[in-house]
Amino acid sequence: MSVPYWRARDRYYRILGNKCEQCSQEYFPPAAICKKCGSTKFVDCEMPKTGTLVSYTQQKESIHGFEDQEPMVFGLLRLDNGVRIIAQLVEVPYDSLKEGMKLKAVFRRVRVDGESGQIFYGYKFGASRESKS
């Protein structure tokens, strides 16, 4: 397993950001300086696994290593704690997506390294039960 991926796996697996110890503002990806109060004191903070779709787009030509996932759909989501995150959207047909719909984090294969065969996993977002009606 590649060293950088291994060291950061909690960030990929658990959507781990950080929280300012002074004012409780949450960030993802983790921040070094709080934009709200200027503090540099943070603790790790796991982000909520649900959010609302703000905007989305479809990418029809992928970068090397992701050709088997074309077309890829990405969304800007506002998590339930207010933090915004960009993530790949899965398990929802593109023409069914609607701004404002609820989505949830799902743990999925991100890619397979062609040379080593190593499988990389991480979060993506899919339909929540509320959205399937």
pLDDT tens for each residue of 92-119:
999 999 999 999 999 877 767 767 777 7
* Pair 126, 90: CB distance under 8 Å: yes
Q: Among residues 44, 49, 24, 47, which one has the least CA distance to residue 34?
A: 24
pLDDT tens, 69-95?
Answer: 678 899 999 999 999 999 999 989 999
Give the predicted TM-score (pTM) of the model: 0.79
* Pair 100, 124: CB distance under 8 Å: no
Hey, which CATH number is domain 48-133, 3.40.50.300, 2.40.30.10, 2.40.50.840, 2.40.37.10? Answer: 2.40.50.840
Tell me which residue has tokens 């950080």: 18
